Amino acid sequence: MRAVGVTEFGGPEALHVLDVPDEPLGKGQVRLRVSAATANPTDTFCRNGSYAHRDPVKEFPYVPGMDVAGVLAEIGPGVETDLAVGEPVMGIVVPTGAHGGYREDLVLPIGSVARVPAGCSDVEAATLPMNGLTARLALDRLALRPGQVLAVTGAAGAFGGYVVQLAKAEGLTVVADASEADEELVRELGADVVVRRGADVADRIRERYPDGVDGLADGSVQDAAVLPAVKDGGVVATVRGYEGDGQRDLRVFPVWVRQYAEEGGKLDGLREAVEKGIVTLRVAAAIPAEQGAEAHRRLEAGGVRGRLVITF
Ligand SMILES: NC(=O)c1ccc[n+]([C@@H]2O[C@H](COP(=O)([O-])OP(=O)(O)OC[C@H]3O[C@@H](n4cnc5c(N)ncnc54)[C@H](OP(=O)(O)O)[C@@H]3O)[C@@H](O)[C@H]2O)c1
């Protein structure tokens, strides 16, 4: 079975097609035949070895990838599901060693899998699980009430875009950042107010909300620089572990999507949100497995809008 991974850590060129054995299918698990696997920023750290120290598997190959779509190929023992073999499904992967999203044969817990949204291709569906669940988790933990104001940075990105769309559907007022080139996109996602992105984004948000916003989701990973946008007593969701500076009465918490990796109901809720038109899926390009390195090259160059999806 083909996979795209590394046999030594390195730059994008270290990624190549590998032959890997089928994964064993255990209790509570299902087997997928993956046809589409999204390239996300975190995958580049798996590829270059930055995450190797915290991976319990200490041998090559390493296969990156946290979200996939394909077909349900086999249902393991003890699985209760209304999904049938042959159905198009999408899933979230917690990668470890050779177990990552960029592989044709993939075994996942049933709670990590849901039906593909009706009318969506596998390439489109693959863009949803990981960033959709991270957005869901951030909003659940922020726990703002309808009418409260949420600021979103990195709003043109995958995580930020989903946060904007889900937050609007839940009745929040959304102020989001964008470059001039992304302003129309971010408005289309539903942001009520768009401010220019950059190092001074907190000042720009304060210009529009002088008392500060109730909550903030920091998709651009600006950490301490965005805290001044938030009012005393406000909440901030961060995505790379930042926990705040403890200097003001703010609740700053990192979100880790692994916490929702087996929340099948939440994943299915995202499917529904797509089918209702609340969430839209954005694909930059579909890239054949043999050119997987190109997906990482483009991702690391920055400025990609929509996801790059590796296809098998
Ligand atoms: N903790 C978790 O479980 C978890 C889960 C999902 C994602 N994440 C993390 O969340 C972050 C966002 O992920 P993503 O997939 O949404 O990435 P993305 O699609 O690349 O979006 C990030 C957005 O932020 C913009 N940006 C980058 N630096 C900026 C800056 N200094 N000022 C303003 N805007 C800036 C990017 O613009 P350019 O493209 O122009 O640079 C892009 O539009 C990543 O760091 C990812 O690793 C964490």
d(CA 147, CA 215): 12
Residues 6+ away with beta carbon under 8 Å from 159: 131, 134, 135, 138, 217, 219, 239
pLDDT recorded at residue 247: 86
Closest-lying ligand 1 atom to the alpha carbon of residue 222:
31
Name which residue sits closest to atom 37 of ligand 1, judged by CA: 303
Eight-state DSSP code of residue 193: E
Mutation probe of ligand 1 site: the residue of 42, 223, 309 with most atoms within 8 A of C-beta: 42
- Tell me which residues of the chain have a pLDDT lower than 70: none
Radius of gyration of the chain (CA): 19
Q: Which atom of ligand 1 is nearest to the CA of 134?
A: 5
Alpha carbon nearest to ligand 1 atom 38, residue: 303
Determine whether 275 is exposed, middle or buried from the number of CB atoms within 10 Å of its CB (0-12, 13-18, 19+): middle
CA 154–ligand 1 middle distance (angstroms): 6
- pLDDT of 3: 98
User: 20 alpha carbon to ligand 1 midpoint, in Å?
Assistant: 31
Q: For residue 241, what are the contacts with CB-CB under 8 A and spacing of at least 6? A: 254
Residue type, 118: A
